Each structure stands twice: as C-alpha cells, then as structure tokens.
Chains A and B, each alone.
Chain A
Amino acid sequence: MPEDLINSFMTGPDENGRFGDFGGRFVSETLMPLILELEEQYERAKTDESFWAEMDHLWTHYVGRPSPLYFAERLTERLGGAKVYMKRDELNHTGAHKINNVLGQILLARRMGKSRIIAETGAGQHGVATATVCAKFGLKCIVYMGAHDVERQSPNVFRMRLLGAEVVPVTSGRGTLKDAMNDALRDWVTNVRDTFYCIGTVAGPHPYPAMVRDFQSIIGKEVRRQMLEAEGRLPDTLVAAIGGGSNAMGLFHPFLDDPDVAIVGVEAGGKGVDEKMEHCASLTGGRPGVLHGNRTYLLQDDDGQILEGYSISAGLDYPGIGPEHSWLHDVGRARYVSVTDAEALEAFQLCCEMEGIIPALEPSHALAHVTRMAPGLPRDHVICMNMCGRGDKDIFTVASALGHDI
C-alpha cells in the first residue's frame, strides 16, 4: 500500500534528523562525532532483539510495566460526558514515565562502554530516574539542576543524593531547566571520551528526539492493547501534558496513523498566554528557532534571545518543545492547547477527591483539559489521558498555592 506509506505520520525523522523543517543537529563540532556515534549505536541496538529483551525484562521486573489503564468512573460521572481513562504511568518505579526512557539510554550507554552518566533535570523526576538506574548498574551519575529548582524540589534532590548521584546546582544564566541543559552540554563537551548524556525529553540534537520517543512509545503501545481489551476499540481522544513532550510523544506516536483518534497536547499556560509571557506554551505563544541542538518552537524575543518560561510545574518549565510536536502542530495531526496554573490546581484537587489519586502537577494540566472537554462530549466518547507522574513531589508547591502552611 504505497499510498498509505507516503501518508504515514510515523516514519520521521529523515536521515538528517528532521521532522519536516524541525529537529536537526545544531551542535558544536566537538559533540558532532559523539552524536553520530550515538546514532550509529542506537540504530544497531534498535534492531537487536537482545537489546529489547533486556528492556522488556527490566520494564517488567524493575519498573512494573505494563502500567494499568484505569477507567476513572467517578470522575466520568461527575463530568457527565465522555468516558475518562487514565494511563497509570505514575505507578512506575520512581513515580513517573521518565524511567521508561532512562532504562533505554543507560542500556545503550553500557553497550557503548561509557562509565559516567550526566543528565539535566527540572522537577527532578528525570534526575531521580537517572540516579536510580545508575545506582542499579553501578555507574557514576551527575545531575545538573537549576539552583531555583534545587530549592523548590528539595525532596527529589535528597532522593538523588541518597541514590548516590552528585547534584550540581546550576547558577549560570537564570538557574533554570534550560540553563541546566546548557551546563550538561558543557560537561559533555569537556568529558567527551567517557561520558554519556542521558537527555530526559524528546528534544536535543538528533537522534535524541527519535530515541527518547521510541523508548517512551511503550506507553502508547500498551494503551492500544489495553483499550482494545477494555472497550473493544481504539480511544477517540488522547490527552497528555507537554513540557519537552516525552510522555505525550510516547502516548501519541503509536496512534499517529489512526485518523479516527484525535490527539491533544496540553501546554503549561502559567499565569495566562499573553504578551507578559508568564507561561511555557511554546507552540501557542512561541515561534520557530534553534536551541539545544534542534529547530523547534521556542519562547524568544524579537532578537532571537531565549525567554524564561514560567509554570507552577517545574517539569513543564522549559521554553522549547520536542521538534516532532512542532511538526505535528504544523501539519495539523495533533492539536495543542494550554491550561493555566489555576486550572491545573483545580484538576489536581478534583483528582484527589474523586479518584483517590494524587497526580503530579504536570498531568494535572492534561486532566484540566479533560475536565473542559468531557462534559460536552457524548457518553460513548472515550478519552485516554496520560497520568504520567504522581504528585508526592508537588505537595509543598500545592500547599503553598492553596495557602496552607505545612
């Protein structure tokens, strides 16, 4: 069926790492040979059954996959419209989807003989997952984290240190996630021989966006199978929160060529997507540019200088987005909306009260959009949202936003 092949949304990126005009390899020459080697090794691992057998084993016995697909019955009744399912990736070991990808990259690093792992982290979930897997395999782990995030995510900082990782507070620039990524890249440029950079999201130079997506696609593949079991058909709508966009890409990708499945990404609207730019909605409020190795939608000023994002959720606080999302946005295969801090907080509380699940602030954004759309849809419409992280790490932030002193 050549026509179907031509019309597939799942074949990207091309050999230059491009999704349409997005993606690419915008890095300094020092890193170029490393990135090409990584691509070569990943291509080899990808088609090696023993690589995936090891992944499957660890996913099952270490992470606890498959994660359940859960019908949120009371929430569905309360909203009075579409049926709401939650993909329970917050039940993974370490409490978020991040470990799906970290396992893949660390196995690859081991194959490549790298002994030193570096990572950047915002909320700390990717840092904790990386520290965890490094502890399991006895690898040295250094996590770069913005000084501001070190302060607001102190439980995760302590977790990483317990797991034996060195957490480096980043004060360069403004000390946020993007600066942590800059410093991780500086480390990599300096320690090229023994170091593997474990990127936490579907961004960065090729092959990272494709590789991280492939590792996270386990989410969507499971949903496909589980939904067929539960409902006898595919979902009508998928909803996921987006910072860099790895949990969303993992859920969306296996469904890109199912035209009847609507796909919605939810960006962090912060205090509102307007000219004050106090948000992280790169697609809704940004324009294409080049940062951290790839071309994608970015929050930037008229002179191409990168702006700081803002969100109550540290995990969404990044001025860019994975290049594949930028492409899906431009070609219209996925729709991207934004949700404010206030809406996310409301959904957070609703989820606690109606379902007995304390969600992370990141998926609370996705859930907020579900609460907006579900009431207007028929009762046989099936929504699946990605509950990509648990909220234990966020209770201090939420308490403070709700005016409690704990």
Chain B
Amino acid sequence: MTRIDDTFARLRSEGRKAFVAYVMAGDPDYETSLELVRGLSGAGVDVIELGLPFTDPMADGPTIQLAGQRALEAGQTLARTLDIARAVREEDDATPIVLMGYYNPIYSMGVPRFLEAAKAAGVDGLIVVDLPPEEDDELCLPAQAAGLNFIRLATPTTDDRRLPKVLQNTSGFVYYVSITGITGAAAAQAGEVGPEVARIKAQTDLPVVVGFGIRTPEAAEAMAGVADGAVVGSAIVRQVEEGRPVSEILDYVRALAAGAHRA
C-alpha cells in the first residue's frame, strides 16, 4: 500500500471524489514553486502531481511547455525537483506525490539511481508520458519493484482490445485523458466521458481520474461526478504564468478542489 492507495481508500470510505492538481516543479523559480506545492494539500488537493520540466514535451500544449522552459531557465533539474518532494514530505507525511513528465531526464540520471532517490524523497508514483506498456521493462516494472506506483494514461484511442494491456502493470490509479489532444486544449463533456470511464472500470478495480481541459470548479465537479476524481494542470500553471501571488493561486486551487469535492 502506498500513500496513493491509502488516499483513495480513505476517499472511497468517505464517499468523496479526489482532486488532483498538477504544477510544474521549479516554475517560475525554485522558491515560488516550493511555496506553491507546500500549500496544495491545505487548499484541498488530495494528490499532488509534480511536473518534471523537459525541453521537448511532445504531448503537452504551450502552457506546460512554457512552464518547463521557465523552470529550466531558472536552473531546475531532476535532483532539485526531488528536493521539492523531500521538503514537502518532511512536513506532510500523508499527501501522495506523483512525478509526471518524460523519460529522458530519468534515463539520463539512470533508472536505479533515480528510483532510489525518488523513494528516499517520499515520492509515491510516476506518470511518464512516453513510456507505453510496450516499454514496461524500462521503468514501469523496476518502479513497481521499488514500491512506487506506475500510473498509466488511458485515452479515447485505447480500445477494448488494448485496454487490458494498458491496465496490466498500472497501479495507484488510472488517468483517463478525456480528449485526443494535448494538455490545455479544449475540454470534453462529462456526458461523453462517463461511458468511457465506465468502460475502464469494467476492467479494473483501480480508481479512475479524468484530466485534460478542466478549468473551472463546475467542470471539475462534473468530471469528478462521472469518475473517481478530476485532474487540473494547465489552468493552474497559467496562473503561475500570469505572475499571480501564491496565495491567489491557492485560492483558485481551493475553489477547484471544492468543485471536485462537491461531486
């Protein structure tokens, strides 16, 4: 059992949906980002997704790409991102932290060294966008062996024939990408997403959360209503891009979380 499993078990027993928030580590700089991440659980965030900056985020829209560029320009590295996780973990031993990004910086550090460092920093799970089940030997299986969850994306193109393969080595939760497209793009309608979530839940006991394109408390509520939770990323990152103070961003996060929790 990881903190992710514990969190979803607790939410389920309370009859509540999860609110998952994504922020880019080191954006716009280390200190601001650390302050923001520290405030997330207090704003009602159930699972923290910490973005790993990468020069070539092929599955992301301009908002996440620019956030990564700001972080890299401010000197963010994979090691510094683990520092953020560690700092948060020192004061909060319950809220799950998931690292989300692309494989190359992890591969560059070396998988065994990375897994050891991530585990030591209090990280609970990984979402690595460019590692489909076909490449499970790379990181997914070693990560599970090291006690980290490996959370997979399922998408509208993942048909019923392929779904078992996607679910096979997934743990923690399943992240359903509600649209074919990049992060921050147009949103899907909850009415269309509901049957898709049901399709996935028919094949797994894992919680299913829905992300991509959610910007408002109402949308978070609607999406969480047809799943086990909702993820918001680009909309939060855009607030950072606009240079808003951390307290204001956390107010916005609080409103989103309240929306998801109303579901």
Interface residues of B (CB under 8 A from A): 53-59, 61-62, 65, 69, 72, 77-78, 102-109, 129-135, 152-159, 162, 166, 177, 180-182, 185
- Chain A residues 182-203 with CB under 8 Å of chain B are 182, 185-186, 189-193
A16 at the binding interface (Cβ < 8 Å)? yes
Q: Give min CB distance, B11 to chain A, whole Å.
A: 25
Question: Does the CB pair B108–A306 fall under 8 Å?
Answer: no
Partner of A173, one of B55, B157, B162, B166: B55
**Given A27-B130, A28-B153, A33-B159, A186:B61 Cβ within 8 A:** yes
Question: Does the CB pair A33–B157 fall under 8 Å?
Answer: yes
Complex Cα–Cα for A193 and B103 (A) = 26
Question: Does the CB pair B78–A304 fall under 8 Å?
Answer: yes
**Given A26-B135, A28-B130, A30-B157, A173:B109 Cβ within 8 A:** no
Query: Which of B78, B104, B162 has the most CB atoms of chain A within a 10 A radius of its CB?
Result: B104
Question: Does the CB pair A290–B104 fall under 8 Å?
Answer: yes
A312 at the binding interface (Cβ < 8 Å)? no
Binary B-proximity of A15-38 (CB < 8 A = 1, otherwise 0): 010000000111111111110000
Complex Cα–Cα for A182 and B60 (A) = 9
Question: Does the CB pair B134–A16 fall under 8 Å?
Answer: yes
Interface residues of A: mostly helix, strand, loop or mixed? mixed
Q: Which 3 A-B pairs have the closest CB atoms?
A: A304-B108, A304-B105, A190-B181
A291 at the binding interface (Cβ < 8 Å)? yes
List the A side residues contacting B156 at CB < 8 Å. Answer: 30
List the A side residues contacting B109 at CB < 8 Å. Answer: 303-304
Smallest CB gap from A206: residue in B: B134
Complex Cα–Cα for A305 and B80 (A) = 14
Partner of B108, one of A27, A191, A289: A289
A364 at the binding interface (Cβ < 8 Å)? no
Question: Does the CB pair A186–B182 fall under 8 Å?
Answer: yes
Complex Cα–Cα for A391 and B64 (A) = 39
Binary B-proximity of A74-96 (CB < 8 A = 1, otherwise 0): 00000000000000000000000
Complex Cα–Cα for A34 and B181 (A) = 14
**Given A29-B153, A304-B106, A173:B59 Cβ within 8 A:** no
List the B side residues contacting A31 at CB < 8 Å. Answer: 157
Some 8 contacts from A to B, beta carbons below 8 A apart, are A25-B134, A30-B157, A179-B56, A189-B180, A189-B182, A289-B104, A298-B104, A304-B104
Complex Cα–Cα for A193 and B157 (A) = 9
Complex Cα–Cα for A178 and B56 (A) = 8
Complex Cα–Cα for A300 and B106 (A) = 13
Query: Which of B69, B158, B182 has the most CB atoms of chain A within a 10 A radius of its CB?
Result: B182
Smallest CB gap from B53: residue in A: A305
- Chain A residues 160-213 with CB under 8 Å of chain B are 172-173, 178-179, 182, 185-186, 189-193
List the A side residues contacting B133 at CB < 8 Å. Answer: 32
Question: Does the CB pair A28–B129 fall under 8 Å?
Answer: yes
Complex Cα–Cα for A305 and B71 (A) = 12
Q: Give min CB distance, A73 to chain B, whole Å.
A: 46
Complex Cα–Cα for A166 and B77 (A) = 38
Question: Does the CB pair A26–B103 fall under 8 Å?
Answer: yes
Question: Does the CB pair A185–B180 fall under 8 Å?
Answer: no
Complex Cα–Cα for A192 and B102 (A) = 21
List the B side residues contacting A292 at CB < 8 Å. Answer: 56, 58
Smallest CB gap from B103: residue in A: A290
Complex Cα–Cα for A381 and B100 (A) = 55
Q: Give min CB distance, A303 to chain B, whole Å.
A: 5
List the B side residues contacting A34 at CB < 8 Å. Answer: 157
List the B side residues contacting A375 at CB < 8 Å. Answer: none
Smallest CB gap from B109: residue in A: A304
List the A side residues contacting B69 at CB < 8 Å. Answer: 173
**Given A26-B135, A27-B130, A28-B132, A305:B155 Cβ within 8 A:** no
List the A side residues contacting B78 at CB < 8 Å. Answer: 303-304
Complex Cα–Cα for A63 and B57 (A) = 37
A285 at the binding interface (Cβ < 8 Å)? no
List the A side residues contacting B181 at CB < 8 Å. Answer: 189-190
A68 at the binding interface (Cβ < 8 Å)? no
